[in-house]
């Protein structure tokens, strides 16, 4: 019994000294002293060892001890609440938040979106096709049969030769795939990445991006083509841009043309970018060749159409004042960060 009273006295001192600076001090205290496995409970278990004549006395001591522990628990709870209040009070709500770095759109994506959006306003819808292509869709159906000299115009990356699988050299493959579906009229704009085996330099790369356009219906004329492209350049470059068409050759169009716009940098005066001509070539176009229509089971007597294809890199270089095409694919964060916030 004396030993027990001694023990209780020691616990009392422990409780007095129980630290209140921990966040969950009250809860820790409750578990240690007042919980179902706590000290008070276990002291109560000692009651059976106390001789009968001293049970009452021990009961009183124990009761006081319990009340003492409960009072301490209340005090710790109050201190904890106080602590919480004082920590919130020290938060300075006027401090600026952490800066979360945001990504940026790639200049090629932005330019592709601008081009697409203009044609969408004219009723064109977006169509896409595979980058790994067969010979038929990239060449043969486009009136570029085997041994056609025009195949040399585009240095092709072949994946296999028999049968031929290749990385598409232009987005014109999408024209064929869409015409083959046989749903007419057809009015599509086809963005995509294309590949050519060219030496990488500031001006050319072994991959780049194109946007192809195709319109097939009854009575589509060259005038429709010109008007569509006039609309495009005015939306893209403003009302005072000048346009010229030069006769050209593409196997898949007849007649074919290339379109130039007045140089946006020197306004036609002549500068390095336009090689002192005052003009910049921006796209190839023409009336879809009857053979191409036939290859896709479209009756050239009934239907006609125009097509055009343009690069995305060139207009992006001009718009953002970039002088090296390699920057587009090097993923240098310092370069990419400059476009943050632009759409
Ligand atoms: N496929 C051509 C090229 O890559 C671009 C082109 C020219 C596409 C005329 C056309 C077109 O659809 O009609 O150089």
Which tens digit of pLDDT belongs to each residue from 293-326? 999 999 999 999 999 999 999 999 988 989 999 9
pLDDT for the residue numbered 19: 86
Rounded Cα distance between 291 and 295, Å, is 6
Q: What is the mean pLDDT of each run of 10 residues along the chain (343 residues)?
A: 87 89 85 90 87 89 92 88 70 87 92 98 98 96 85 80 92 98 97 95 95 98 98 94 96 97 88 90 97 98 98 93 94 93 84
Q: Are residues 199 and 158 in the same domain?
A: yes
CB 19 within 8 A of CB 72: no
Would 121 be classed as within a structural domain?
yes
Supply the range of the domain harboring residue 31.
Answer: 2-89
Q: Are residues 8 and 53 in the same domain?
A: yes
What are the tokens at 124? 């064109």
pLDDT for the residue numbered 89: 66
**Other beta carbons less than 10 A from residue 223's beta carbon:** 9
Q: Are residues 131 and 82 in the same domain?
A: no
| Of 186, 209, 212, 220, best ligand 1 pocket probe by most atoms within 8 Å of the beta carbon | 212
> 285 CB less than 6 Å from ligand 1?
yes
Q: Are residues 159 and 298 in the same domain?
A: yes
Q: Is 89 helix (H, G, I), strand (E, B) or coil?
A: helix
Q: Are residues 15 and 143 in the same domain?
A: no
Of 27, 61, 89, which one is at a domain's C-terminal end?
Answer: 89
CA of 170 to the centre of ligand 1 (A): 7
Would 159 be classed as within a structural domain?
yes
Closest atom, ligand 1, to C-alpha of 210: 4
Rounded Cα distance between 115 and 313, Å, is 12
Q: Are residues 72 and 170 in the same domain?
A: no
Q: Are residues 173 and 226 in the same domain?
A: yes
Which of 308, 316, 172 shows the shortest CA–CA distance to 236? 316
pLDDT for the residue numbered 87: 63
> 284 CB less than 6 Å from ligand 1?
yes
pLDDT for the residue numbered 124: 98
Q: Are residues 183 and 275 in the same domain?
A: yes
pLDDT for the residue numbered 109: 97
Q: 184-204 burial, b for 16+ CB within 10 Å, e for fewer?
A: eebbbbbbbebbbeeeeeeee
- 269: exposed, middle or buried (Cβ count in 10 Å: 0-12, 13-18, 19+): exposed
Q: Are residues 138 and 267 in the same domain?
A: yes
| Of 127, 172, 174, 211, best ligand 1 pocket probe by most atoms within 8 Å of the beta carbon | 172
| CATH code, domain carrying 119 | 3.30.930.10
CA of 256 to the centre of ligand 1 (A): 9
pLDDT for the residue numbered 169: 95
Would 97 be classed as within a structural domain?
no
> 305 CB less than 6 Å from ligand 1?
no
Would 99 be classed as within a structural domain?
no
> 307 CB less than 6 Å from ligand 1?
yes
If one counts the domains in the chain, the total is 2
User: What element of type H or E holds 87?
Assistant: helix 55-89
CB 174 within 8 A of CB 127: yes
Would 67 be classed as within a structural domain?
yes
> 309 CB less than 6 Å from ligand 1?
yes
Give 286's contacts (C-beta < 8 A, 6+ positions apart). Answer: 225, 248, 250, 252, 253, 254, 255, 256, 257, 306, 307, 308
Rounded Cα distance between 327 and 211, Å, is 20
- Size of the chain in residues: 343
CB 206 within 8 A of CB 143: no
Would 98 be classed as within a structural domain?
no
Q: Are residues 69 and 135 in the same domain?
A: no
pLDDT for the residue numbered 249: 95
Q: Is 246 helix (H, G, I), strand (E, B) or coil?
A: strand
CA of 163 to the centre of ligand 1 (A): 25
Would 297 be classed as within a structural domain?
yes
Q: Are residues 200 and 334 in the same domain?
A: yes
* Residues forming a β-bridge with 279: 262
pLDDT for the residue numbered 138: 96
pLDDT tens digit string along 68-102?
Answer: 999 999 988 888 877 776 666 678 889 898 888 88
* Ramachandran class of 286: left when φ > 0, alpha when ψ lies in -120 to 50, beta otherwise: left
CA of 138 to the centre of ligand 1 (A): 11
Of 62, 89, 116, which one is at a domain's C-terminal end?
Answer: 89
Q: Are residues 278 and 226 in the same domain?
A: yes
Would 228 be classed as within a structural domain?
yes
Of 45, 63, 89, which one is at a domain's C-terminal end?
Answer: 89
């Amino acid at each position: 019994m004396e030993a027990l009273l001694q023990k209780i006295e020691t616990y009392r001192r422990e409780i007095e000294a129980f630290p209140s600076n921990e966040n969950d001090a009250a809860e820790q205290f409750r578990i240690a002293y007042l919980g179902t496995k706590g000290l008070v409970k276990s002291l109560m278990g000692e009651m059976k060892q106390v001789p009968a004549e001293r049970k009452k006395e021990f009961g009183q001591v124990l009761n006081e001890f319990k009340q003492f522990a409960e009072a301490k628990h209340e005090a710790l709870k109050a201190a904890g609440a106080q602590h919480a209040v004082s920590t919130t009070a020290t938060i300075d709500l006027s401090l600026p938040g952490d800066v979360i770095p945001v990504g940026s759109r790639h200049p090629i994506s932005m330019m592709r979106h601008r081009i697409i959006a203009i044609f969408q306003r004219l009723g064109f819808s977006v169509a896409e096709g595979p980058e790994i292509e067969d010979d038929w869709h990239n060449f043969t159906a486009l009136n570029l049969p085997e041994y056609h000299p025009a195949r040399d115009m585009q240095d092709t990356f072949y994946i296999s030769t028999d049968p031929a699988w290749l990385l598409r050299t232009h987005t014109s493959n999408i024209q064929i795939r869409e015409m083959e579906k046989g749903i007419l009229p057809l009015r599509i704009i086809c963005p995509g990445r294309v590949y050519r085996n060219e030496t990488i330099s500031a001006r050319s790369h072994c991959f780049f991006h194109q946007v192809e356009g195709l319109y097939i219906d009854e009575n589509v004329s060259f005038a429709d083509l010109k008007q569509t492209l006039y609309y495009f350049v005015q939306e893209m470059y403003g009302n005072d841009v000048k346009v010229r068409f030069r006769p050209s050759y593409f196997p898949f169009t007849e007649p074919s043309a290339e379109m130039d716009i007045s140089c946006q940098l020197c306004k036609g005066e002549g500068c390095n970018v336009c090689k002192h001509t005052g003009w910049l070539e921006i796209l190839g176009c023409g009336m879809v060749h009857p053979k191409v229509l036939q290859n896709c089971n479209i009756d050239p007597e009934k239907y006609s159409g125009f097509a055009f294809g343009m690069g995305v890199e060139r207009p992006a270089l001009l718009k953002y004042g970039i002088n090296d095409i390699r920057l587009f694919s090097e993923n240098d964060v310092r370069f990419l960060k400059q476009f943050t916030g632009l759409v």
